[in-house]
Chain A
Amino acid sequence: MRIIPKKVERIKFGLLSPEQIRKLAEVKIVTADTYDEDGYPIEGGLMDPRLGVVDPGLRCKTCGSRVGDCPGHFGRIELARPVIHVGYAKLINKILKSTCRECGRILLPEEKIEEFRQELKRAKRIGKNEEPIVEELFKLARASKSCPHCGAEQMEIKFEKPTTFIEVVEGRQHRLSPIEVRERLERVTDGDAEVMGFDVSVARPEWMVLTVLLVPPVTVRPSITLESGERSEDDLTHKLVDIIRINQRLEENMEAGAPQLIIEDLWELLQYHVTTYFNNEVAGVPPARHRSGRPLKTLAQRLKGKEGRFRSNLSGKRVNYSARTVISPDPNLSINEVGVPEIIARELTIPEIVTPMNIDRLKELVRNGPHRYPGANYVERPDGARLSLARVRDIDELLEKIEPGWKVHRHLIDGDIVLFNRQPSLHRMSIMAHEVKVLPYKTFRLNLCVCPPYNADFDGDEMNLHAIQSQEARAEARVLMRVQEQILSPRFGGPIIGGIHDHISGAYLLTQPEVKFTKEEAFHLLYASGIRKPLPEPAVEENGRAYYTGKQIFSMLLPEDLTLRYRAKVCRKCEKCKREECEYDAYVVIENGKLRCGVMDEKSFGAFAGELLDRIVKDYGTDAAREFLDRVTKLVINFITWRGFSTGIDDEDLPEEAKERIAEILDEAERSVFELIRAYNDKILDQLPGRSLEETLEMRIMEVLSEARDKTGKIANEYLEREEKRRRHENSARIMAVSGARGSLLNLTQMAACVGQQSVRGERIKRGYSGRTLPHFKVGDISAKAKGFVRSSYKQGLSPLEFFFHNMGGREGLVDTAVRTSQSGYMQRRLINALQDLKVEYDNTVRDTRGVIVEFQHGEDGSDPSRTDWGKMVNVKNIVQKYARTEAE
């Protein structure tokens, strides 16, 4: 039999009337004490056993259930005198001001009220916001001086935050007691209340003034027993104790006929306690504190904010079947896989229903138990009872009983689908489905190509893993969330998963024209990369030996009918492109799956940029793309390991001649800065339109200096390249920068030639002493070096002054990053919150939950950006080329 789960149809909000509270409450709470000397809860106290159970083993006095099953029951406190509900003080104020003090009607003529009523009705019907209408009514009504219904003159009412109302009668201030306030609210008719935004079926205005206070069940405010055996009560209980205590005193005093003054003081105190019970952060009210001085966390504080109930327990929930550990790379895994340590695999389980087909296998797992891998941790009987295998004595007896219909919670095994996640989860590629591969040691292992979408590196990053528990979820994860399905980013319709770092340098080196392999070497490489295809004819023959080129080896990875042309990252954007004859081998031509010319670099299969990868995913599907990436990773990593690749400080070595030229350029730049300053002093500097003379000078200086740095960079690069060619000695740093593997030419410039101008807030450094940055300079010195120009290179090392300026610039960068993450995080939260309910309906319109159409066609053409080709729905050119030879490109 299937149990049909109850479905919450909808939830109605409302206020509780005093009668409802009395009906709802099981217990009238009268004593402020909680437990007696023996540690038993006192009847009629805040821990009354009828309020529910919190201690395991006991039964609830009201419903008879045990811990877990008893939801808890409410109690009540009869307040000796009514008090105002803080949350509604503002609204009470508005009502008092806009209703008659005699008859309680809204201070507007009947027709006007009717007008508002109609407008409200309309707003409700079309789903418009009703608040501005009600506000308008309050504004109009409060302006009238006398009641249009009974003619009574109206007095001015002052509202003293948070809960005091004062009426000015003939110049005398009269404090309205909550009793009086309540009386006035009682006089408001149902019809008028409705126009003021009330739903009178669930909320009468006078219910905003409390006469009975609902006491939440103990399950809501459980007390904790400390190790010492001492009990520590919840903050809410503390607050309730205060309320009861004052309430009692107030009552006693009233009965004893104490003077009005004392009663009013106590009444005010009661108001204070009830106020802080609801909200302990009301402006103008000193927060109620714990004995230690910590402010109490009362009702509003429980709900509010990031750590409140809503954001931290309702919108985000804790889960079981999850694991977290440090990540590390493993190029031998497929991009679809994740390496899971055995210890974790033994802890995470997947429920499998016993069937005649799997009974033998599952029994074997059960026999292995929780400690031997692969085993199982629990078995579940058809009635839902769970047996822990760690506690089972006689395993054979249990195995006898297992039959189809039971469930076995078995260990994670190879091939299981799990979800893998790295925070911050900024986009959907932050949680992807992987196939499990159980491995030794204690870290999660992942293929390097999936680092970009997770934004992961291995400097100590940790990631989370979730074992999926239901068959439906598993199916969805496999079809929709698997890594290979996420290669194309929905952000721009291009690949976001792809080669990084050594993949790029490796491929770049492998596809250099001069690279060649003997048959043995070729076999070795291809075997290690998992490529089992017949080798083509060797392309080169030297000294009677046949050689395979690197390009031939790389071509083994390509789909056989792939034809593609593009310019590589190394392309220098020459004025006249020589195409196939490119001297830098930057023009890539792939014909029928053969790499004819051009080198492989970032533009080929790098994340965010790979054109080749892009074509493979879009034309050959995600399976082909996954296979391509897996093989590329292995091939290229094996190659670069075999060949050797490393960078060191000698990659930035420059010949003396280069150093001299760089120094010359920097001297020249410093001279022109002096000239600019002189021109400024002589007032012959040409002013830029719309800029002051000082600004013009600064801008010109910055310009001169950044130009100089760029020039030194060019020289450095020129010499590095020349040296590389001359000595046939490769420069790894340059290779990485040029191929797009890591770093840029700017980084090289800074290491080899000149670090350049340091800036704070986009300007040259100007803070420090008055008129100068450091006491080492003269007041008013605005030369290059006095304002943070670093002419040394990182390799040379910075002078103390340069180092100081460099540190200033660096610190700004750090602060900037910290501020940016919090700002962009909040912006994203807001964006998501505003847009999350939008979805495409069956009629292709985009609507929110109310059914309001936001877009008739998503993105004006009804397309899904993740399925477009860089934003284009159909790549017509590509298709036409595939079937017909275009005359000319």
Chain B
Amino acid sequence: MHLSREEIDARLEELRDKLPQSILEELRQELHRAKLTKEALESIIEEVLKRYEYARVEPGEAVGVVAAQSMGEPSTQMTMRTFHYAGVAELNVTLGLPRIIEIVDARKKPSTPMMTIYLEEEYARDKEKAEQVAQEIETLYLEDLLEKSEIDIVHQRVNLYFDEYEMRRRKVEMEEVLKKLGSIKGVSTEVAGNVVSVIPEKTSSIKELRKLENRVKGIHLRGIKDIRRVVLRREGEEYVIYTEGSNLKDVLRIEGVDITRTKTNDITEIQRVLGIEAGRNAIINEIQDTLNEQGLTVDVRHLMLVADMMAVDGTIKAIGRHGVSGEKASVLARAAFEITVDHLLHAAVAGEYEELEGIVENVIVGRPVKLGTGMVELVMRRELEEAKEVKEAE
């Protein structure tokens, strides 16, 4: 009496081109758990189809405005505090409204660049290996290893006092440091315990010594540029590296880094390194994460539209006069937004046409906008219909 799984599957197979895969799959799973008669199955399928059809967007729907409102309306309820401690207490990240604004502005550099670096299986499980990778990533300047440094003008030298604890923690050998120091031309070095003296060959003024001191302190020992700090954290089974500063391109080259999951919050960098589709997804993810953190629910579809609009032409454009709004086809739409006069003056010289297709343009000339119910162009000619009726009556 009840239908078997095979029978259900066979029936579902017929719906292959009527329903999307995800819904079909869910339906299959639910149906397999239920006891069904043929009639019940048919009713279910009928209702699913009806619901699916109902949930589809209708032509003319002003999806853009709805998306903009859905993102803008809750933003009034967001916090303004720039700094907040997310997941990792050790790092500061911009969140809330300032972060959203930063994203839609498509800034070249986020105010707090940050990376989340996932590791490949064998590194992720092993604390030591993970630490090794972390150390390889963190930039280390000679200055970071010093307890203090001083200029000895009498003996014509710069004394560097190394902090042994830091040296041990960062696993740096003195040889490594000396090798780097040796690469500076015109100086020699003297080692006495944890004090290294850098001695210029020529007699130098205090100004020159100070310059030397700064140069020595700024020696890049290891790590990746721009990554100022790393924090290793255990998340469930694996170790994950969080960094302050971002340099996706170089990090992806590091051995042991899981290039499929590693990410940064610098959207333009993602676009540069991984391409526009990745950039578009990054926008969606970043906005969604920020909204979720604030406890606001916004359907992804709205965020997708915003991201798609920012990424349509292959590069990420800002929402605003320097991006999407500044490149609109309509003169009036641009003039009505910002920098009114310049747009009008330019339009005159270039002999631009205003096609009056968009929203503001039609509002300006005072006619219905071509959205929703205003999109319909088919009009019934009443006289014709009436004539037909008369004919039928005869």
Cβ-defined contact, A838 with B91, below 8 A:
no
Interface-centre pick from A201, A761, A827, A835 (highest chain B CB count, 10 A): A835
Tell me which residues across on chain A come within 8 A of B153, comparing CB atoms.
none
B151 at the A/B interface (Cβ < 8 Å)? no
Cβ-defined contact, B350 with A199, below 8 A:
yes
Mask of B307-324 contacts with A, CB within 8 angstroms, 1/0: 011001000000110011
Q: How far is the CA of A412 from the CA of B322 in the complex (A)?
A: 47
Tell me which residues across on chain B come within 8 A of A834, comparing CB atoms.
68, 309, 319-320, 323-325
Q: Closest approach, in angstroms, between the C-beta of A453 and any C-beta of chain B?
A: 10
> Assuming the A-B contacts A832-B68, A874-B48, A884-B36, are A315 and B336 also in contact, with contact meaning beta carbons closer than 8 angstroms in the complex?
yes
B357 at the A/B interface (Cβ < 8 Å)? yes
Q: How far is the CA of A337 from the CA of B305 in the complex (A)?
A: 35
> Assuming the A-B contacts A310-B340, A862-B57, are A887 and B33 also in contact, with contact meaning beta carbons closer than 8 angstroms in the complex?
yes
Cβ-defined contact, B356 with A10, below 8 A:
yes
Q: How far is the CA of A871 from the CA of B324 in the complex (A)?
A: 27
* Of the residues A202, A492, A887, contact of B299 by C-beta under 8 Å: A492
Mask of A648-679 contacts with B, CB within 8 angstroms, 1/0: 00000000000000000000000000000000
Cβ-defined contact, B78 with A476, below 8 A:
no
Tell me which residues across on chain B come within 8 A of A690, comparing CB atoms.
90-91, 229, 231, 244
Cβ-defined contact, A8 with B365, below 8 A:
yes
Cβ-defined contact, B341 with A279, below 8 A:
yes
Cβ-defined contact, A849 with B329, below 8 A:
yes
Mask of B145-161 contacts with A, CB within 8 angstroms, 1/0: 00000000000000000
* Of the residues A201, A426, A491, contact of B76 by C-beta under 8 Å: A426
Cβ-defined contact, A835 with B104, below 8 A:
no
Cβ-defined contact, A873 with B347, below 8 A:
no
Q: How far is the CA of A11 from the CA of B365 in the complex (A)?
A: 10
Contacting residues of chain B (365-385) with chain A, CB-CB under 8 angstroms:
365-367, 370-373, 375
Mask of A368-408 contacts with B, CB within 8 angstroms, 1/0: 00000000000000000000000000000000000000000
Q: How far is the CA of A816 from the CA of B91 in the complex (A)?
A: 23
A855 at the A/B interface (Cβ < 8 Å)? yes
Q: Which residue of B lies closest to A208 (CB)?
A: B349
Q: Which residue of A lies closest to B75 (CB)?
A: A824
* Of the residues B47, B298, B305, contact of A846 by C-beta under 8 Å: B305
> Assuming the A-B contacts A834-B325, A871-B299, A884-B36, are A821 and B336 also in contact, with contact meaning beta carbons closer than 8 angstroms in the complex?
no
Mask of A215-228 contacts with B, CB within 8 angstroms, 1/0: 00000000000000
> Assuming the A-B contacts A315-B364, A820-B78, are A876 and B48 also in contact, with contact meaning beta carbons closer than 8 angstroms in the complex?
yes
> Assuming the A-B contacts A199-B351, A855-B304, A864-B57, are A492 and B298 also in contact, with contact meaning beta carbons closer than 8 angstroms in the complex?
yes
Cβ-defined contact, B59 with A844, below 8 A:
yes
Cβ-defined contact, B345 with A87, below 8 A:
yes
> Assuming the A-B contacts A13-B348, A690-B90, A690-B229, are A886 and B69 also in contact, with contact meaning beta carbons closer than 8 angstroms in the complex?
no
Binding site of B, secondary structure by majority: helix, strand, loop or mixed?
helix
Q: How far is the CA of A212 from the CA of B348 in the complex (A)?
A: 17
Cβ-defined contact, A835 with B299, below 8 A:
no
Tell me which residues across on chain A come within 8 A of B348, comparing CB atoms.
13-15, 202-203
Cβ-defined contact, B305 with A880, below 8 A:
no
Q: How far is the CA of A310 from the CA of B65 in the complex (A)?
A: 20
Contacting residues of chain A (763-812) with chain B, CB-CB under 8 angstroms:
none
Cβ-defined contact, A198 with B304, below 8 A:
no
Contacting residues of chain A (4-24) with chain B, CB-CB under 8 angstroms:
7-15
Interface-centre pick from A839, A867, A884 (highest chain B CB count, 10 A): A839
Q: Which residue of B lies closest to A867 (CB)?
A: B55
Q: How far is the CA of A9 from the CA of B80 in the complex (A)?
A: 46
Q: Select the stretch in A44-52, A241-249, A300-308, A596-604 that faces chain B.
A: A300-308
B272 at the A/B interface (Cβ < 8 Å)? no
A877 at the A/B interface (Cβ < 8 Å)? yes
Q: Which residue of B lies closest to A134 (CB)?
A: B350
Q: How far is the CA of A836 from the CA of B333 in the complex (A)?
A: 10
Tell me which residues across on chain B come within 8 A of A579, comparing CB atoms.
none
Q: Closest approach, in angstroms, between the C-beta of B79 and any C-beta of chain A?
A: 8
A-contacting residues of B (Cβ < 8 Å)? Answer: 20, 23, 26-27, 30-31, 33-37, 40, 43-44, 47-48, 51-52, 54-76, 78-81, 83-84, 89-91, 97, 100-101, 104, 229, 231, 244, 297-302, 304-306, 308-309, 312, 319-320, 323-325, 327-333, 335-337, 340-342, 344-345, 347-360, 363-367, 370-373, 375
A303-B344, A839-B60, A865-B301 are known; give 9 further A-B pairs, CB within 8 A: A12-B353, A314-B364, A315-B360, A492-B70, A827-B97, A831-B104, A863-B56, A874-B55, A880-B30
B-contacting residues of A (Cβ < 8 Å)? Answer: 7-15, 87-88, 91, 127, 129-130, 197-199, 201-203, 208, 279, 300, 303-305, 308, 310-311, 314-315, 317, 426-428, 476, 480, 490-494, 688-691, 699, 761-762, 816, 819-821, 823-825, 827-828, 830-842, 844, 846, 849-850, 852, 854-855, 858-868, 871, 873-877, 879-880, 882-888
